[in-house]
Structure 1
Amino acid sequence: MSDRLNHQLLRLTLLLQLERRARQAPSDELPFVIVNETAELLPYRQAVLWQKAPAKLQAASGIAKPEKNSPYALWLKPVLQYVTRDPRAASVMAFSAEDVPEELAKDWYEWLPDHALWIPLLTPATSKYGLVLFRDNAWTEAEIQLVGYLAETYGHALALAEAGPAQRSWLDRLRGRNIQFLLAAILLAAACYPVRQAVLAEAEVIPIKPNLVRAPLEGVVETFYVQPNEDVKVGQKLFSLDMTQLRSRLEVAQETRDIAKTEYLQTTQQAMLDPTVKSKLAGLKSKWDQQVAEVDYVRTLLKRSVVTATRAGVTVFDDPNDWLGKPVTQGEKILAVADPNVVELEVRLPMDDLIALESGAEVLFFSNINPHKPLQASLNYFSYRATPTPADIMAYRLKATFTGNEILPRLGYRGSAKLYGSRKPFILWLFRKPIQTVRLWLTW
């Protein structure tokens, strides 16, 4: 008798503790408490909290949040919908696979134990939720009576959780007049805030005052002795032109010179015997001198066909294969020899991105090699008109001098340059291009 009394007191204590826990639980934790901590009062294997309208699985024991599209939830949903339509579902009701239709009961033992207990969580207004417990043993009458008291507590706790202050959505909050005035003031201040104009453009590192190497005469490029970005010394061979025609011309000139020399010498001997021949000597000597000059001139052209470096530096040109076999005219630029330690930045600024820039404007160069380490430069040249780029884009040509103490980039490095202009209101910078378009339309 004493053990039975102690057992009843223990159950009563657990019941009071569960009621207190349910009342103190936050609204988002209450479903988890209901399906998990009820096991302290009644032993079961599984528990689910079912919401009647809309029909969905609100919580399940052993997991934080049930997956509504899981096979277990998809199978259990029609079973519990059938149970809630049962007239006995207004009160605590024990049921099993035999109480549901055959098409629903065929998979019962794959998902659930033998015995189930439906517990409607009643509130003064309605019965929106139901707690369902599953276990292998049949439910006793005493357990059914005990859980009835707990169901009322759970129902009131759920009703109080839903009756809390409704959470206003951010859209509803924005509809408030004070918030609207505050947002309007913030937007107006942001629109009028002065920001520095900036624009991005393609850039390349180029030499300052390089030594341009041009074609010495008309001809065809035959051989290149250097490669791009190669260090060269004074007197080192750079390239040569085809000398086939000049060699043939030299041979003809030498033969003609020898013939003129022979005629002159023969006439000189004849003049010793025949004074009348002396009148021809002046013409023959002039012809001989002319052919000697021709030979010397062709030899000079042959020497000039091999172009050498007149100053030390680095060769600046693209691919030598682009020049081999190509006819060139006298004075045409072939390559350049530049000092790698004297470089500057060339920027191609498209016409559509043009902003007001002054001499000395700040420029940042982000090379493709080290884009995370921008180099500082200062604008010192702005072309007066735009010219087409290799990509057929009309752009202005700008130059900037590196001003930082960083190691200068190598010749030929490419990247992006960010050019900074004067400060203007943010709204003018934001709508710069639309304003340009509208201005063009208004001027027509």
Structure 2
Amino acid sequence: MSLSPAALSALADSLEARARAAESVAELGISMANDSFAGVPFRQALVFDAQGHLLTVSGLAKPTEDSPYLLWLRRAWPWVREQAAAAEGWLAPTDEMLRAAPEGVADGWREWWPAGAFVLPLARRGGEPLGSVCFLLDQPPAKPVAALLARVAPTWAYCWEMMAGKPRVGWRERWRRLG
């Protein structure tokens, strides 16, 4: 699947408009995980918050069941996120990397995931993480697809930030600031 530059630009406009129209972080997550398929030929898209909680799975309204896949995903995501950050987004783990991964990650990857994952981190304007969108792909995203995601990511992040509100400061930090 290959879209023309004009079609990719129109898709980016549409994705940004849907993000601005979302009324909650949950609705935004559903849009990020499902609406981007027209330009990103993923097998599955996942949206996680900054704490690593799974918010959205493409094709599902709410990922609440404790299926073997979702249980594996909860255990595997911290490793995937760390490895993808070191690989600048695209993670296609080698056998050596999978052998060094936490227990069960390699077996689950081979069973449920394709060749790689493209992880797009989203952050507040101040740099604090909001979450990530993870696209499961058979190959690294083509340059036009990567450009599409680079264009819409700031809009997704801004909309998420506005709906989530200001980050809550813990009592220890408030106490430290007092004195």
Whether the TM-score (by the shorter chain) exceeds 0.5 is yes
Secondary structure of 1:44's aligned partner = coil
Q: Check conservation: 1:92, 1:120, Cα contact below 8 A.
A: no
Compare the two structures and name the one with the higher helix fraction. Answer: 2
**How many residues get paired?**
158
**Match 2:74 to one of 74, 77, 100:** 77
Q: What is the match of residue 30 of structure 1? A: 28
Matches of 1:150 and 1:12 in 2, distance apart?
10
Secondary structure of 1:113's aligned partner = coil
Cα offset, 1:133, TM superposition: 0.2
Give per-residue Cα distances to partners, 1:232-276, cap 9 Å, x unaligned. Answer: xxxxxxxxxxxxxxxxxxxxxxxxxxxxxxxxxxxxxxxxxxxxx
Compare the two structures and name the one with the higher strand fraction. Answer: 1
Q: What is the match of residue 85 of structure 2? A: 89
Matches of 2:29 and 2:145 in 1, distance apart?
21
**Match 1:49 to one of 44, 47, 50:** 47
Give per-residue Cα distances to partners, 1:358-396, cap 9 Å, x unaligned. Answer: xxxxxxxxxxxxxxxxxxxxxxxxxxxxxxxxxxxxxxx
Aligned residue type for 1:141: K
Structure 1 residues 144 and 152, CA, compared in 2 at 3 Å: closer, same or farther? same
Structure 1 residues 38 and 92, CA, compared in 2 at 3 Å: closer, same or farther? farther
Q: Check conservation: 1:32, 1:59, Cα contact below 8 A.
A: yes
Aligned residue type for 1:149: R
Quick one: percent identity of the two aligned structures? 27
Secondary structure of 1:39's aligned partner = helix
Cα offset, 1:13, TM superposition: 0.8
Q: What is the match of residue 114 of structure 2? A: 113
In the TM superposition, what are the counterparts of 1:122-271 in structure 2 within 5 Å?
A: 122-125=123-126, 126-163=128-165
- Compute the TM-score of the two structures, normalised by the length of structure 1: 0.33
Cα offset, 1:16, TM superposition: 0.9
Secondary structure of 1:106's aligned partner = helix
- Compute the TM-score of the two structures, normalised by the length of structure 2: 0.78
Q: What is the match of residue 64 of structure 1? A: 61
RMSD (CA atoms)? 2.4
Cα offset, 1:68, TM superposition: 5.4
Structure 1 residues 107 and 84, CA, compared in 2 at 3 Å: closer, same or farther? closer
Q: Point out where structure 2 has 5 or more consecutive residues left out of the alignment.
A: 167-179
**Higher RCO (CA 8 Å, separation ≥ 6 residues):** 2
Aligned residue type for 1:117: F
Q: Check conservation: 1:48, 1:132, Cα contact below 8 A.
A: yes
Structure of larger gyration radius:
1
Q: What is the match of residue 353 of structure 1? A: none
